[in-house]
Structure 1
Amino acid sequence: MRLRIRSRCSSKRCSGLFLNLFNHFILCSHFFITFKSFLFWLGKMITYLNYLFSHRHMPEPGDTVIITTHETEERGILVPSPKKETHLLKLENGYNMGFHTKDIVKMKVVQKAVVPTSSSSLSTKNAKLPTIAILHTGGTIASKVDYRTGGVATEFTPEELVALFPELQSICNVESELIAQMWSDDLRFAHFELIAKSIEKYVKKGVDGIIIGMGTDNLAVASAALSFIIESSPVPIILVGAQRSSDRGSTDAAMNVVCAAHFITQTDFGGVAICMHEHSSDTTCAILPGTKTAKLHSSRRDAFQAVNDSAIASVNYKTGDVTYGKDVYRRKAKELVVTPKMEEKVGLLKIHVNMVPEQFLLYKGWKGLVVEGTGLGHMPTQVPNDDAKIHAKIAKAIEDVIASGCVVVMTTQCVFGQVNMNVYSKGRDHLQAGVIPGQDMLANTALVKLSWLLANYEKEKIPLLLQQNLRGEINEQLTFDKTFVKR
């Protein structure tokens, strides 16, 4: 009996002990789960804080950084990358270099990007210095890459211009206006009128000169057009471009602008001209005639050269000294005369092999057409054999175009030299048909001259005016030059 009781008591003890152990186990399990959860969320918080801290100091587009890999170390400006796993660096030489994230050992921020503040005018001006208005129409001349967005940003308040071209502070006071932000190959005749109105506004304000910033592709065409539109000017008007953007180590923007400013403050020149690198080195800029200049290279900094003419002057970048290349150029006038109208329906046709009559008939009913002929000024109008029978139809098409009232002017595809349509029978046939010789005018210069004449003069006067030298676009006589390509 006692044994049975003890047995029961022992069972109760075991049962109570088991319950106590079970309860402790449950409590420990809860604690373990809670502690594990605590550790989990603590880890999450540490990760988040680390993320915030690291991103606070993480390089951003526009920052100057040093990227170190196992093989190299490069310094440059961080630019937006199209791939998340790649960091793109614009090096000091202007080229981009990509680095895969796994290859980067260290990335150090040397300088944070500076966001410029905008302002309408300089707070102080130097009364002893002349004032130059800088008008911008587009291109890279006063622009740089916005590395936060990857796009091009225009730096165009006076403060920003001085920051971009600090040498200007000792040369002139600056006024500025953003006329447009466009590629120069999108220029139309209406834009030349817009630029002329801005020129008129700043001349009336009394500035001492005007610099027009523009893309280089059609800079020479714009210069020629403005040369005719601005009939006389009391201040120099200088068009400036840049072949390399201002954020590249090889940029020509600053030198071209600074040399233009030096020239304006020292000259008695009163027309329209171009200021670009004279050589590929950063030594001098050439002041080139507005109607006799062509872009002869797609990317060289000295791409712009005078054709059948010479530079007006040379400007030393370091000293600012101006050396004149010729004595005959337009001097400052007493007043500004602007005649901005341009005829829209004027075309330019380049002669090439295998042409068809429809290419000429396209201009039937137009006001004017400039033909860029071969050699001395020729078109495919003769029939030497059966394979060229279509040329008879081309000759008839040219006659029909002229009969429709279209003024047709002949220029040459050759960069240098002039048209002479009296040498060969073919040229004389063109003259008899009514084609007007364009002398040694550049094709694009002839285009804008014809457009300007058609908009401002009676049609009967145009054939004579086309062959007269109005803005230095025609040479009375070309002299033989052994080195006709100036370098």
Structure 2
Amino acid sequence: IASRVVYRTGEVHTAFSPEELYSLVPELAELARLETVEACSVFSEHMTPELWVRIAEKVAEGLNAGAKGVVVAHGTDTMAYTSSALSFMLKNLTGPVVLVGAQRSSDRPSTDAHLNLLSAVTVASRSDLGEVCVVMHGSMNDDYCLIHRGTRVRKCHTSRRDAFVSINEGPLGMVKNGEVKMLREYRKRGEGRVEVDGRLEPRVLLLKVTPGMGADLLLSALELGYKGIVLEGTGLGHAPETLFPALKRAEEEGIPVVMTSQCLWGRVNLHVYSTGRDLLKMGVIPAEDMLPEVAYVKLMWVLGHTREPQQVRRLMLQNLAGELSPRSPPTPP
């Protein structure tokens, strides 16, 4: 959202200071008194777990200093990773934490930055949310934005303005004509102090399962000292038997392996086919209806708190920040 095109080369560069971002949408002054703070200034593909913690600390500082809500301007590529991380790290939120970005740079006629930022500030200043969320265009037109739960959202198109979609549940709400309308149950703002639980284990690997995949990648990860592995399995959460030796070794070494699905919609079920039951016998943890990137971030957070296998399993299967649900919708929205 804080970028512009260098027309001589056609490249997009981060360019606006926080103050310039504010001046980009003067209507913001009618909504709220803004204070701008720079936590970091990097393209989102360069985000790290350390920067997630830094952002969380800045968010907590702002809310504990009396801010009614916080808007985090973020690049769209890895916004869902950051929204997941903040969802697990921030405790007892006293106001909304709203991530917002733009698919088109803010100096282009087709930019979505204006409506996205205006809608994000509307949610932060006028709603009673006590969750981390993502606010982005809900259609290709400049008519409304959707409010997505931070642990349920994914960027599903490289360039469309309505690229962000809530997966396995509908959006939390929408912003239209300056009004916030909530569409499903949500956590409301609390009272007291916001706390940051930023203990993360960054040595977690997210790996996509492919036909004929050998065990060497997983074995190498174990030898390199990775503390947890998340697999994007096929279908209901399957992996070829060529991976079984590595999975058995991971279980022997106490390295948790979490299974998600490449299908995104629906849920992992390792009880249907024999392959799934074999994976369960090797200690693989089914991620239910969690998105792969959410399971990846959550496993970092869980391993930052415990390495005990049963505790890891228990926490991964416990709904901590709206990332799990007992049932998934039968079809995508």
Band the TM-score falls in, shorter-chain normalisation: over 0.9
Match of 2:183 among 319, 322, 325: 325
Q: Which residue does 1:410 correspond to in 2?
A: 259
Q: Match for 1:352: what amino acid?
A: T
Cα deviations by residue, 1:87-115 (Å, 9 ceiling, x for unpaired)? xxxxxxxxxxxxxxxxxxxxxxxxxxxxx
Q: Which residue does 2:159 correspond to in 1?
A: 299
Q: How does 1:208-357 map to 2 (within 5 A)?
A: 208-316=68-176, 319-326=177-184, 328-334=185-191, 335-357=193-215
Q: How does 1:200-211 map to 2 (within 5 A)?
A: 200-211=60-71
**How far, CA to CA, are the matches of 2:198 and 2:186 in structure 1?**
22
**How far, CA to CA, are the matches of 2:23 and 2:6 in structure 1?**
15
Q: Which residue does 2:301 correspond to in 1?
A: 452
Q: Which residue does 2:41 correspond to in 1?
A: 181
Q: Match for 2:327: what amino acid?
A: Q
Shift of 1:253: 0.7
Does the 8 Å CA contact 1:270/1:332 hold for their aligned counterparts?
yes
Does the 8 Å CA contact 2:92/2:195 hold for their aligned counterparts?
yes
Larger deviation, residues 304-313 vs 364-373: 364-373
Match of 1:464 among 291, 314, 317: 314
Q: Which residue does 1:432 correspond to in 2?
A: 281
**How far, CA to CA, are the matches of 2:81 and 2:92 in structure 1?**
19
Q: Find the residue that maps to 1:275 and give its secondary structure.
A: strand
Q: Match for 1:320: what amino acid?
A: G
Does the 8 Å CA contact 2:266/2:329 hold for their aligned counterparts?
no
Match of 1:372 among 232, 242, 246: 232
Q: Match for 2:178: what amino acid?
A: G
TM-score normalised according to structure 2 size: 0.94
Does the 8 Å CA contact 1:146/1:153 hold for their aligned counterparts?
no
Q: Find the residue that maps to 2:28 and give its secondary structure.
A: helix
**How far, CA to CA, are the matches of 1:285 and 1:480 in structure 2?**
25
Does the 8 Å CA contact 2:95/2:189 hold for their aligned counterparts?
yes
Cα pair distance change 1:397/1:166, threshold 3 Å: same
Q: Find the residue that maps to 2:35 and give its secondary structure.
A: strand
Q: Find the residue that maps to 1:260 and give its secondary structure.
A: helix
Q: How does 1:16-35 map to 2 (within 5 A)?
A: none
Shift of 1:462: 1.3
**How far, CA to CA, are the matches of 2:86 and 2:237 in structure 1?**
26
Cα pair distance change 1:350/1:211, threshold 3 Å: same
Q: How does 1:66-145 map to 2 (within 5 A)?
A: 141-145=1-5
Cα deviations by residue, 1:343-388 (Å, 9 ceiling, x for unpaired)? 021111110012112012122242110011000011111xxxxxxx
Q: Find the residue that maps to 2:147 and give its secondary structure.
A: strand
Cα deviations by residue, 1:103-138 (Å, 9 ceiling, x for unpaired)? xxxxxxxxxxxxxxxxxxxxxxxxxxxxxxxxxxxx
Match of 1:154 among 15, 30, 40: 15
Cα pair distance change 1:148/1:429, threshold 3 Å: closer
Shift of 1:166: 1.0
Q: Find the residue that maps to 1:287 and give its secondary structure.
A: strand
Q: Find the residue that maps to 1:176 and give its secondary structure.
A: coil
Does the 8 Å CA contact 2:169/2:329 hold for their aligned counterparts?
no
Cα deviations by residue, 1:164-203 (Å, 9 ceiling, x for unpaired)? 1111011111111222221111111111011111112212
Aligned length in residues: 328
Q: Match for 2:118: what amino acid?
A: V
Structure number with higher relative contact order (C-alpha < 8 Å, ≥ 6 residues apart): 2
**How far, CA to CA, are the matches of 1:464 and 1:151 in structure 2?**
44
Q: Structure 2, unaligned stretches of length 5 or more?
A: none
Q: Find the residue that maps to 2:103 and give its secondary structure.
A: coil
Q: Which residue does 1:361 correspond to in 2?
A: 219
Q: Structure 1, unaligned stretches of length 5 or more?
A: 1-140, 382-390
Q: Which residue does 2:290 correspond to in 1?
A: 441
TM-score normalised according to structure 1 size: 0.65
Q: Match for 1:437: what amino acid?
A: P
**How far, CA to CA, are the matches of 2:134 and 2:226 in structure 1?**
31
- % of aligned pairs identical? 38
Shift of 1:458: 5.1
Does the 8 Å CA contact 2:237/2:260 hold for their aligned counterparts?
yes
Shift of 1:479: 3.6
Q: Which structure has the bigger radius of gyration? A: 1
Does the 8 Å CA contact 1:363/1:401 hold for their aligned counterparts?
no
Q: Find the residue that maps to 1:315 and give its secondary structure.
A: strand
**How far, CA to CA, are the matches of 2:210 and 2:116 in structure 1?**
36
Shift of 1:155: 2.4
